[in-house]
A and B are shown apart, each in its own frame.
Chain A
């Protein structure tokens, strides 16, 4: 058991409410030097976590936001040929040094940095289907070769790699095999209360109950195209507070539904519910056994 405690440990920070299981998963990824893949519904705090892991570990953070056009090579380095051509034409620089025109991408920067860094690869599922596979070797061995200069960039300190995915595309098996996986489940009412408390402290408890009952009831409706998420809930509470909606009104209505539902069909479906039945749950018991408190 000599191997214990010889790696950095993440313990959570005051600004991020992380479950013990999440802390364990982060530490597991650090100890095994594997990327941590974070999945979960949008709005469950995947990206924010990376920032807090970096803060908690006291490391600088680099982020690489993936777009649909991002190529794996962009993360390593880009060779700015146009600039070099231009410089050679106008004599505004020493073009014989090709290294001046090699710009390291986020992955390359984190490898060559003199201190250990946290690297966030954000929304990896936005890119092409083959994108994660193209990074396998680099993430495994933490090195790559710059073809133009025949130079090898090798990680001096293996960065702590966090990868987020919104589940838009399935990720390839070979990639998954190398990751530690954590799924950020949608917060339960108890955790949600703590989260709301961070944003809206001193909220009236009965009002908060009504708000949460309505919110979780909406999420239980299976025909919704897009379920409201935490960030929408927080916006909705802001709207309710500004407008000073009374508790009685909230018991039988869902005001400002536009803050929660973002698809026309969903708003229509709710209007349909109003016409047909019009009843909303008032107590946690109305939501079914999962929410018995």
Chain B
């Protein structure tokens, strides 16, 4: 049952390792669950779950695993669970090595103790806290109580663990979108070129000592400017239409970029399908949000790094023809490809991140775009490569 819990959590995508599991078992060994399933529930959550985004997964698995006990064993939990736990048939998906390893950790003894304390508790508090099911030494077990049961009688207002788990109050915090955000940020961290600019506020110890010696022991403080990131980033992002399915990775990237405070400057602009004579300052792309593309090019010099995000898949006319904009109100004589060429020429380093798999990069328009910009897949690895192309040594 314990292992079911462990693997159940892992299957739900909870990042859970042996280390957390072990501290959970140590906590049980110390009796911190205090013979109550509700406290057991909270203890498990404190030890095993490290982000509120997984609370919902925890509740789900907890309800399933410990409810399964109720269904399969009825009221006589203790011995049957121990028997069940001892039987390797119950873990068909494990290799013998895994089984041996986990056996060491989740010793039967521990499980027995846990359940025994639960049993002790009912016996001692027989008057006040009656659980569903009664004790007694039947051939089916001596504990005879019901960890998933609901307390009847008694004045306690605390709720049963099962009820807490089943309410799944933390559903709102489930944002699978944040799962890889950290990895993305780590990849973006390499987006830096450290230079010493600005006011000299940092003590240069080596220089100070040198100067002081040269000065015959008269202290001569030498200050230098702290190292700061000099990278300025222009983001041009395709929104709407064929980009809609990629909302999640793209919004993750956007979040990561907005929170990357190391950048010296960061400006995002949005477009639909292709860059024409106007880009938009917000993803809503209202008329009031337009900025002439030529203005952007005039304002930003060639040192700016450019990141395009888009699938580069469109009708050929949208890229190559005058008045190619799919929105006729915004039609303009300059074809999109000309704007892309201007951008590629204007800036020193540019990359294109494509959320589509590499296998689909063979559309005519995609190939034309790839001739202008190095293209990378929008994944953690692709992002790392793109960052290298932006700030790394030239190949």
Contacts and interface: CB of A to CB of B under 8 A. Distances in A.
Interface of A: 1, 3-4, 7, 20-21, 24-25, 27-29, 31-32, 34, 37, 39, 68, 81-82, 85-86, 89, 129, 168-170, 172-173, 176-183, 185
Interface string B181-194: 11001100100000
A176 B20 CA distance: 9
17 contacts: A3-B31, A24-B43, A25-B42, A25-B43, A27-B32, A28-B43, A32-B30, A37-B50, A86-B219, A89-B217, A89-B218, A170-B185, A173-B15, A176-B51, A177-B17, A180-B47, A181-B51
A32 B20 contact: no
A130 to B, nearest CB: 8
Nearest to B17: A177
B304 interface: no
Contacts of B314: none
A25 B46 contact: yes
Interface string B139-173: 00000000000000000001000000000011000
Interface string B212-223: 100001110100
Contacts of B26: 32
Interface of B: 15, 17, 19-20, 23, 26-27, 29-32, 34, 39, 42-43, 45-47, 49-52, 55, 113, 158, 169-170, 178, 181-182, 185-186, 189, 203, 205, 208, 212, 217-219, 221, 259, 261
B46 A31 contact: no
Given A31-B30, A31-B32, A34-B23, A24 B42 contact: yes
A129 B219 contact: no
Given A37-B50, A81-B203, A82-B221, 19 more contacts: A3-B30, A20-B39, A21-B42, A24-B43, A28-B27, A28-B46, A29-B46, A31-B27, A31-B32, A32-B26, A32-B27, A85-B208, A89-B219, A170-B182, A176-B51, A177-B50, A181-B47, A182-B46, A183-B55
Nearest to A7: B30
The interface centre, meaning the residue of B32, B46, B47, B50 with most chain A CB atoms within 10 A of its CB, is B46
Chain B binding surface SS class: helix
A142 B15 CA distance: 26
Contacts of A85: 208, 212, 219
A21 B178 CA distance: 26
Given A89-B217, A89-B218, A129 B42 contact: no
Contacts of B205: 81
B46 A24 contact: yes
7 A-B pairs with least C-beta separation: A170-B182, A176-B50, A21-B42, A183-B52, A25-B46, A89-B219, A4-B31
Contacts of A20: 39, 42, 158
A85 B218 CA distance: 10
Contacts of B52: 39, 183, 185
A179 B45 CA distance: 12
Given A37-B50, A181-B51, A183-B55, A169 B259 contact: yes
Contact of B182 (A37, A172, A185): A172
